[in-house]
């Protein structure tokens, strides 16, 4: 018998779906086709507020191949989809005349080809009655809403803490709207068979899409199947069920044919959310020795007129990041005539860390204390809000290792002191305390007579490596080789799963698979419980280990048998077990659930005459608990860091204040980091397995982005002596 590699967890194997992706055979929703498939193209509002006065579709209807022009006048009635536990769904599309943002869908053309539909869409004439639009976050006419989710925090008395301080920092930081820009255009393919609906969608959460479609069309959820086995990038844009998804299904119903609807790049800027801008005010109080006496952090972010994303808790880091006795945080929404924002990689924490970690840098200079030393002096040994030990925290080790790898202590603290010719050199750093997130999840595992496993769940892989790490986890738990495990994802026919979001999928799905695999081993032991031919009879799961395709006695490895032998003898084709997991409760474990932590160190080069900023080095050390696959985990951190460089230096969705139109809604105008903007990225992992879930993992999906912008902004200050409190850090702000 050949001995297999027992330990597949923690090994940086290649992606199990890499071949499919590299060869182009991975089926993304935009690739799906059906016999008789036709195409829908959307027409968008050219005003930001007001109402539709009239629509003339006659020109469009004359275009050859056009099957239908759908407007509010003739659209089938659909309901607003039911809310998820986390947010309301958007209003049902094409049901009313009022316009609440530029780019709102006002008509849909369905035609035999996408070219015909595109041509006809241009000929739909819409007359509007415009109204005053409020599109700027600093517009005094905008209406504020308190955070409906109550994420505001207080402890102690921050006013007293500020009064008591030797030094106070009081500053405003702003971050702009940014747009989730996965390379793949969002696409939905919808096909009805009577009242049964099949939809292939770009979604991070198939179960939610199914629920929303069933609610919109008044059909049972059991008759709706949503498939998303491959998603491409999401970055949060696929968390919600957007109006175009409902419209694709509506189009298919209207013309009685399967329909494909693929957004254009400009429609990606108005139709699938964006990171909301923030205006943050931060006050820090400290004693001369650097001890924080108070943190006050207020933030306002935009929301749409009639649509709410979950409020992004921008200020959370200020209540959990440091051991400060007096803290007040507050998040508000401000209603604007803009497309609804949604989560974008590192929601809330990305913007909030920019504010807080820059303010701490300002405090460090004010006190004459090294910025890293200041963070060490205020290290939160326990969760400062829950007053419980963290389930895991190795942030101190992140700081120490990061400083060593970067060469932080060679830094001359004096701003503008490090220079090479015309290049000003700056070193900056930031700490990251990311939120914790886990959701209930289910999974199913089968082992067949070939000794192969099929493990599945409705969860998605949005390029994060879920197929790969869940294959590794399943193989480890079941004692199989990686190539003996097949993973099924992205199909609502499979056991229910939460969104691939909030960096929570590895903990959520991993815990469910851990449970399913344990139950499957128990099912095999049940099978042979009274089987006198089995060396495993009468044993429980605790008595055995799974290794080399077999179960064997923990205390006697020779006593055991393979899955195949058990199935053969009992004449069964296979054996299946379900598993599920719900997040643990802090009070039950006596632990505060920890998200991942990180330390980031940036070196920037600034052209002394032109103000051109480039990132020369970025060193990251992450504590994300147990790392299931260092290769895919590192890939997540690198990808996030590239997004962070974009956030720091380039990304900004610009809305024209007069019309509410997004003026840079193309890849030519909306700048994202490209290879030339990205230096070699140094990534290390530290820390112990987390104690809050049985797999020991924390998320790696988002923390790669968080803290990059403040580390770079702080490095720019060190290089130039100029403090920029508004992202992105463009050269006009330095001149
Ligand atoms: Mo993430 S922004 O929760 O997809």
Whether the per-residue pLDDT at 2 is higher than 50: the answer is no
Please give the Cα distance from 694 to 697 (Å, whole number). Answer: 8
How high is the pLDDT of residue 226? 98
Q: What is the pLDDT of residue 5?
A: 45
Residue 4 in this model has a pLDDT that exceeds 70: no
Question: Does the Cβ of 84 fall within 6 Å of ligand 1?
Answer: no
Distance (Å) of CA 705 to CA 66, 109, 440, 448: 45, 39, 26, 42
CATH number of 33-132+183-233+238-271, picked from 3.40.50.720, 1.10.1060.10, 3.30.365.10, 3.40.50.300: 3.30.365.10
pLDDT digits over 7-30, tens only? 689 999 999 999 999 999 999 999
Q: Which residues are catalytic?
A: 702
Q: Is 239 in the pocket of ligand 1 (CB under 6 A)?
A: yes
Atom of ligand 1 nearest to the CA of 344: 2
Please report the pLDDT score of residue 86 as a whole number: 86
The answer to whether 609 and 601 are in contact (CB under 8 A) is no
How long, in residues, is the chain? 735
Verify whether ligand 1 is closer than 6 Å to residue 502 (CB atom).
Answer: yes
Q: Is residue 201 within 8 Å of residue 209, measured between CB atoms? A: yes
* CB of 350 closer than 6 angstroms to any ligand 1 atom: no
Using a 6 Å cutoff on CB, does residue 273 contact ligand 1? no
Q: Is the CB of 430 under 6 A from ligand 1?
A: no
Q: What is the arithmetic mean of pLDDT over 327-353?
A: 96
Q: Which residue has the tokens 């198939």?
A: 206
Asked whether 498 lines ligand 1 (CB < 6 A), one says: no
**In CATH terms, are 3-26+439-582 and 33-132+183-233+238-271 the same topology?**
yes
Which of 275, 345, 643 most suits a substitution to test ligand 1, by most atoms within 8 Å of the C-beta? 345
Q: What does the mean pLDDT of the chain come to?
A: 96
Q: Per DSSP, what are the bridge partners of residue 614?
A: 605
Residue 395 has phi, psi (to 5 degrees) of -65, -35
**Strands (E) located in 2-119:** 38-44, 50-56, 66-71, 98-99, 105-111
DSSP state of 591: -
Q: Name the CATH code of domain 3-26+439-582 (choices 3.40.50.300, 3.30.365.10, 3.40.30.10, 2.30.40.10).
A: 3.30.365.10
Distance 239 CA to ligand 1 centre (A): 7
Contact between 419 and 479 under an 8 Å Cβ cutoff? The reply is no
DSSP, residue by residue, 440-458: -EEEEEEEETTS-EEEE-S
Spacing, Cα 359 to ligand 1 middle (Å)? 26
Does the pLDDT at position 62 exceed 60? Answer: yes
Tell me: the pLDDT tens digits for 600-639? 999 999 999 999 999 999 999 999 999 999 999 999 999 9
List the beta bridge partners of residue 284: 169, 295
Enclosing H/E stretch for 641: helix 630-649
User: Which of 237, 275, 347, 438 maximizes ligand 1 atoms within 8 Å of its Cβ, making it the mutation to test the pocket?
Assistant: 347
> What is the predicted pLDDT for the residue at 103?
98
Peptide linkage before 236 cis (omega within 30 of 0): no
Confidence of residue 271 (pLDDT cuts 50, 70, 90): very high
Q: pLDDT at residue 131 above 60?
A: yes
Binding site membership of 352 for ligand 1 (Cβ less than 6 Å):
no
Q: How far is the CA of 455 from the centre of ligand 1 (A)?
A: 24
Residue 109 φ then ψ, to 5°: -110, 135
In angstroms, the Cα distances linking 617 to 325, 428, 603, 612, 622 are 35, 11, 5, 16, 16
Domain map (residue ranges) of the chain = 3-26+439-582, 33-132+183-233+238-271, 278-437+589-733
For ligand 1, atom 4: residue with the closest CA: 236
Ligand 1 pocket: which of 350, 502, 595, 703 to mutate (most atoms within 8 A of CB): 502
- Tens of pLDDT, residue by residue over 491-527, are 999 999 999 999 999 999 999 999 999 999 999 999 9
**Distance from first CA to last CA of the chain, Å, rounded?**
71
Cβ proximity of 676 and 646 under 8 Å: no
3-class DSSP state of 627: coil
Are 78 and 151 contacting, i.e. CB atoms less than 8 angstroms apart? no
Distance between CA atoms of residues 353 and 347, nearest Å: 11
Q: Do β-strands 453-456 and 485-488 pair in parallel, antiparallel, or remain unpaired?
A: parallel
637 lines ligand 1 (CB under 6 A): no
* pLDDT score of 3 more than 80: no
Residue 66, beta-bridge partner list: 111
For 160, phi and psi rounded to 5 degrees? -65, -40
Q: Which atom of ligand 1 is nearest to the CA of 343?
A: 2
- What's the rounded Cα separation, in Å, for the pair 164 and 287? 8
- Residue 234 Cα: closest atom of ligand 1: 4
In which band, very low, low, confident or very high, does the pLDDT at 6 lie, cut at 50, 70 and 90? low
- What is the Cβ-side half-sphere exposure of residue 191, based on CA atoms within 13 angstroms? 15
- Counting DSSP H helices and E strands in the chain, the numbers are 17, 30
Topology adopted by domain 278-437+589-733? Aldehyde Oxidoreductase; domain 4 (3.30.365)
Report the separation in Å between the CA atom of 92 and the middle of ligand 1, taken as the mean of its atom positions: 23
SS3 content of the chain, % helix, strand, coil (to 5): 25, 25, 45
Calculate how far, in angstroms, residue 500's C-alpha sits from the geometric centre of ligand 1. Answer: 7
Contact 507, 522 (CB under 8 A): no
Ligand 1 atom closest to the Cα of residue 238 is 4
Q: What is the pLDDT of residue 306?
A: 85
C-alpha dist (Å) from residue 235 to 92, 208, 267, 274, 381? 24, 17, 16, 10, 31
355 touches ligand 1 (CB under 6 Å) = no
The per-residue pLDDT for range 414-472, each reduced to its tens digit, is 999 999 999 999 999 999 999 999 999 999 999 999 999 999 999 999 999 999 999 99
179-199 tens-digit pLDDT: 998 999 999 999 999 999 999
H or E stretch including 430? strand 423-433
- The fraction of the chain above a pLDDT of 70, given in percent, is 99
Q: How far apart are CA 477 and CA 577, in angstroms?
A: 13
**Closest ligand 1 atom, CA of 504?**
3
Best CA proximity match to 406, nearest among 131, 113, 211, 621: 621
State if pTM tops 0.95.
yes
* Ligand 1 neighbourhood includes 347 CB (under 6 angstroms): yes
Q: What is the pLDDT of residue 7?
A: 65
């Amino acid at each position: 018998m050949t001995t297999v590699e027992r330990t597949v967890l923690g090994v940086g194997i290649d992606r199990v779906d890499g071949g499919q992706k590299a060869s182009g055979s991975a089926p993304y929703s935009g690739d799906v086709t059906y016999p008789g498939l036709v195409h829908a193209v959307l027409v968008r509002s050219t005003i930001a507020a007001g109402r539709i006065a009239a629509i003339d579709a006659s020109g469009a209807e004359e275009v050859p191949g056009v099957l239908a022009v759908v407007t509010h006048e003739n659209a089938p009635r659909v309901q607003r989809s039911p809310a998820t536990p986390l947010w309301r769904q958007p209003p049902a599309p094409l049901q009313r005349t009022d316009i609440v943002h530029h780019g709102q869908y006002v008509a849909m053309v369905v035609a035999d080809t996408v070219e015909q539909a595109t041509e006809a869409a241009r000929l739909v004439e819409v007359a509007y009655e415009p109204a005053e639009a409020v599109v700027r976050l600093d517009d005094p006419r905008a209406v504020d809403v308190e955070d409906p989710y109550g994420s505001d925090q207080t402890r102690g008395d921050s006013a007293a803490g500020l009064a008591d301080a030797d030094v106070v920092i009081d500053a405003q930081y702003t971050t702009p709207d940014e747009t989730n820009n996965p390379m793949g255009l969002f696409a939905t393919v919808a096909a009805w068979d009577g009242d049964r609906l099949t939809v292939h969608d770009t979604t991070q959460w198939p179960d939610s899409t199914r629920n929303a479609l069933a609610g919109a069309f008044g059909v049972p959820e059991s008759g709706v199947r949503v498939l998303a086995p491959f998603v491409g990038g999401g970055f949060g844009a696929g968390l919600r069920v957007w109006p175009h998804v409902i419209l694709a299904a509506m189009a298919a119903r209207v013309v009685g044919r399967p329909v494909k609807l693929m957004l254009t790049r400009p429609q990606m800027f108005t139709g699938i959310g964006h990171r909301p801008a923030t205006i943050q005010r931060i006050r820090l109080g400290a004693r001369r020795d650097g001890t924080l006496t108070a943190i006050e952090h207020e933030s306002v972010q935009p929301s749409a007129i009639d649509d709410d994303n979950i409020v992004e808790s921008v200020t959370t880091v200020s209540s959990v990041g440091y051991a400060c006795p007096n803290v007040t945080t507050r998040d508000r929404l401000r209603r604007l005539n803009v497309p609804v924002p949604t989560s974008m990689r590192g929601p809330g924490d990305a913007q909030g860390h920019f504010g807080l970690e820059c303010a701490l840098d300002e405090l460090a200079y004010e006190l004459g204390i090294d910025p890293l030393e200041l963070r060490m002096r205020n290290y939160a040994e326990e969760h400062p809000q829950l007053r419980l030990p963290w389930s895991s925290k190795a942030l101190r080790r992140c700081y120490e290792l990061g400083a060593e790898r970067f060469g932080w202590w060679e830094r001359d603290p004096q701003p503008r002191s490090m220079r090479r010719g015309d290049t000003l050199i700056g070193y900056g750093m930031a700490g990251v305390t990311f939120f914790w997130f886990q959701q209930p999840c289910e999974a199913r595992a089968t082992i067949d007579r070939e000794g192969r496993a099929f493990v599945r769940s409705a969860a998605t892989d949005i390029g994060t490596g879920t197929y790969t790490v869940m294959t590794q986890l399943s193989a480890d738990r079941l004692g199989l080789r990686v190539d003996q495990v097949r993973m099924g994802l992205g199909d609502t026919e499979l056991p229910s799963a939460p969104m691939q979001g909030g960096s929570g999928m590895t903990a959520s799905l991993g815990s469910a698979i851990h449970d399913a695999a344990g139950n499957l081993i128990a099912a095999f032991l049940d099978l042979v419980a009274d089987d006198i031919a089995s060396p495993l009879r009468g044993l429980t799961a605790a008595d055995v280990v799974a290794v080399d395709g077999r179960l064997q006695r923990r205390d006697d490895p020779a006593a055991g048998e393979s899955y195949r032998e058990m199935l053969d003898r009992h004449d069964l084709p296979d054996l299946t077990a379900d598993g599920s997991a719900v997040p643990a409760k802090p009070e039950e474990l006596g632990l505060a659930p920890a998200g991942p932590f990180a330390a980031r160190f940036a070196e920037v080069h600034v052209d002394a005459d032109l103000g051109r900023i480039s990132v020369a080095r970025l060193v990251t050390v992450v504590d994300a608990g147990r790392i299931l696959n260092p290769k895919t985990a590192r890939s997540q951190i690198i990808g996030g860091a590239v997004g962070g460089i974009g956030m720091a230096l380039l990304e900004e969705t610009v809305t024209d204040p007069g019309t509410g139109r997004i003026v840079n809604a193309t890849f030519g105008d909306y700048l994202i980091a490209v290879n030339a903007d990205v230096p070699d990225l140094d990534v290390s992992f530290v820390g112990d397995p987390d104690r809050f879930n049985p797999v020991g993992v924390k998320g790696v999906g988002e923390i790669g982005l968080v803290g990059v912008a403040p580390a770079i902004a702080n490095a720019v200050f060190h290089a130039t002596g100029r403090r920029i409190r508004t992202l992105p850090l463009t050269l006009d702000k330095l001149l």
